[in-house]
Structure 1
Amino acid sequence: MADLYAQKFVKEFKEKRPLYEEFCGAMNKLMAELLNSKKYKHQIFYRVKSLQRLEQKIINKKRQKKIYRNLSEIEDLAGIRIIFYLESDKEKFSEDLEREILIVNIEELEKKSGYRARHVIVALNKKRLALREYKNFENLKCEIQLVSIFNHAWAELEHDWLYKDVHGIRTKNPEKYGFIKKQMEKIFKNYVRKLTSRFEKVAKQLPEKK
């Protein structure tokens, strides 16, 4: 049976989705220009949330006693992920971002395993909204995820294998699922975290970029 509460938001978002697609594309272009101007080594991806994922998110939040009053309270309808090769570049870009755009909220995501990412909710400031290419995007928000490359690679696999459980191991073989979870945590602690740290040490020995 359809959840009428969730369906109300899905219907509204379906009508506004073309605007969000335009907004997300514009934000992606803006971020790419900023990254390239500062010569950051990076990868960048963007997406607009699907109707199915939106419905599931609203239902899940409702179960957790989180009730949305309007669509604008859902801040990740437009999303960008920026992957940095160095953790220090992620930190530097965060500072650049604050100078260029309106920061609504910053969330530091750190899992028990040690995985770290920064989720920044942004909107266009008045100066940019005054420009013709941005004038239709007032009150729209975008979630920008900042993560280093080794954290990203580990998180993508962990998301599929454990969180989404694409192989169905959690229900078929809980003991094996628990074993894989512990293995993933060990990999992060013994390899991913150390790799990140060692590359940072090497980077500090290099001369400044020209």
Structure 2
Amino acid sequence: MNNKYLSKATIRENYEAYAEYFAKILQNILTILQEKISLSAQPTYKWRIKRFESYYKKVLKKEADKITVVNSIICLTDMLGIRLICAFLEDINLAISQIKDIFEIKEVEIKGDEKKVSEFGYESIHVLVKIPDECLPEKDERFENLMPLEGELVCEIQIRTILQDAWAEVEHELIYKTEFSPFDMPLRRKLAAINASLSLADITFQEIRDYQKKLQKEVEERRHSFYSMADNLLDEKPKTEKPEAINRVSPFVQGTIDDLLLRAIHAHNEGNLEEAIHIYSKILEAVPDDQKSIISVIRKHRGMAYFSMNNFEAALEDFNISIENDPKAFRTHYYKGIVLAIQKKYDEAIKCFTTSLEINEFQAHTHFRRALAYYEINEYENSMNDLDAAIKLGMKPEECKFLQEKLVKKFGMNM
């Protein structure tokens, strides 16, 4: 060996002396990520300092000319690594965008993108970030004898889905850790098939996620429409301008019960109530009697459609059957209470609202509806208590103002 090069033992000693220093940097960066990264599902994190043997091999391969008698640590871009593991493909781009807002980005690389379809390997995003000054440990007595760093120290943040991370761990054990790449074609095909299956699973999970979002959006819009109609029928709130029409693109494909449900809710929100009821009825015809949870959900939705058509008796029948199949469905008790209040059956309405609150006490609007019903039967103290609970749980003051004013007149005091 040429005398100008440092021995492996010396390089190891210099490198491993940085272990605590590097660990503190990674912990500081990880804290920032945990505080500032916000995804639909909380991501998990892993961090690591590159093992010396891996570091040494890479230095010999790429930076051999820098291993001189001058004691210094050659910086590699992947010496410090953090892995951000998210649930869905959509989270990857969101995470990258947020990381760009937090750190100074040196480079973004898609690992595995260069592989052919027939090859095994799995994409992941590697983001190199400059280490902020506030993440660098203070140079106290523990670190004062460390060798200087050759080059810029960066942190590599890998962003993967859960399935991408699982594949990466197994691939590392089977291939890279053993320095073996299979030449046997059947074995290569098996690995490629596993990779393809995981990629497809990620895509499928994302499609399910997209479907859920579309369904949730339609359900929220339908629920808002239900509440607005109830307010108008009860003449409880000052009239507001008609909400701006929402231009929707039909968000379903035909096939499953889920598809039919989304189609029905979409028709419901578009005001095609007869079509919505027809589809709900078709679903009920197809669902076995023992599928109580499904029957409960469909009956609830059809009941809301009947309500929108002012067919309150049919709505009550569906709500009652929904409750029979799922007695803990607190929203259905609430919807039933609204119909009964419109029919001026306030005592029965209060029982429904009370049952709903016994199942889930943190419902501002249910407290508010019960406050209105109590007011109608002259139980003003109960009405005031429920109104107070509704406000504490987040009801907007302007929504409560008209009832507050009525109660002020009854009590002759400021509230």
TM, length-normalised to structure 1: 0.76
Aligned to 1:161: 174
In the TM superposition, what is the alpha-carbon distance from 1:6 to its structure 2 partner? 7.1
One-letter amino acid of the structure 2 residue matched with residue 105 of structure 1? E
Gaps of 5+ in 2: 140-151, 218-415
Paired residue secondary structure (1:206): helix
Q: Given the alignment of the two structures, is residue 53 of structure 1 paired with residue 51 of structure 2, yes or no? A: no
Aligned to 2:162: 149
Please list the CA deviations of residues 156-202 of structure 1 after superposition, one character each: whole Å capped at 9, or x if unmatched.
21221122238x796xxx64xx432221101222x112111111111
Paired residue secondary structure (2:178): coil
1:169/1:142 CA distance change after superposition, 3 Å? closer
In the TM superposition, what is the alpha-carbon distance from 1:11 to its structure 2 partner? 3.8
1:121/1:50 CA distance change after superposition, 3 Å? same
In the TM superposition, what is the alpha-carbon distance from 1:31 to its structure 2 partner? 1.5
Paired residue secondary structure (1:75): coil
For 1:97 and 1:169, the matched residues in 2 are separated by 34
For 2:39 and 2:176, the matched residues in 1 are separated by 35
Q: CA RMSD in A?
A: 3.3
For 2:121 and 2:89, the matched residues in 1 are separated by 14
In the TM superposition, what is the alpha-carbon distance from 1:115 to its structure 2 partner? 1.6
For 1:98 and 1:146, the matched residues in 2 are separated by 13
Aligned to 2:125: 118
One-letter amino acid of the structure 1 residue matched with residue 20 of structure 2? P
Please list the CA deviations of residues 11-63 of structure 1 after superposition, one character each: whole Å capped at 9, or x if unmatched.
4322323211111111122222223x44543221011122222112223436x
1:51/1:135 CA distance change after superposition, 3 Å? closer
For 1:68 and 1:155, the matched residues in 2 are separated by 31
Paired residue secondary structure (2:107): strand
Gaps of 5+ in 1: none
Aligned to 1:29: 31
Aligned to 1:43: 44
Residue of 193, 196, 204 corresponding to 1:198: 204
Residue of 11, 14, 24 corresponding to 1:12: 14
In the TM superposition, what is the alpha-carbon distance from 1:134 to its structure 2 partner? 4.4
Q: Check whether the contact 2:46–2:83 (CA below 8 A) recurs between aligned residues.
A: yes
Structure 1 stretch 153-162 or stretch 78-87: which is displaced more?
153-162
For 2:94 and 2:66, the matched residues in 1 are separated by 34
Aligned to 2:378: none
TM, length-normalised to structure 2: 0.41
Query: For the pair shown, which has the larger CA radius of gyration, 1 or 2?
Result: 2
In the TM superposition, what is the alpha-carbon distance from 1:103 to its structure 2 partner? 0.8
Please list the CA deviations of residues 113-166 of structure 1 after superposition, one character each: whole Å capped at 9, or x if unmatched.
3621011111234xxx2x5x64649x5311111111112212221221122238
Residue of 183, 187, 195 corresponding to 1:188: 195
One-letter amino acid of the structure 1 residue matched with residue 125 of structure 2? R
Calculate percent identity across the aligned residue pairs: 20
User: Which protein has greater RCO, CA pairs closer than 8 Å, 6+ apart?
Assistant: 1
The equivalences for 1:75-94 within 5 A come to 75-94=77-96
1:6/1:22 CA distance change after superposition, 3 Å? farther
Please list the CA deviations of residues 59-81 of structure 1 after superposition, one character each: whole Å capped at 9, or x if unmatched.
3436xxx7557645412221111
Residue of 96, 99, 104 corresponding to 1:97: 99
Aligned to 2:413: none
For 1:204 and 1:92, the matched residues in 2 are separated by 15
For 1:9 and 1:50, the matched residues in 2 are separated by 13
One-letter amino acid of the structure 2 residue matched with residue 148 of structure 1? T
For 1:101 and 1:6, the matched residues in 2 are separated by 36
For 2:7 and 2:203, the matched residues in 1 are separated by 43
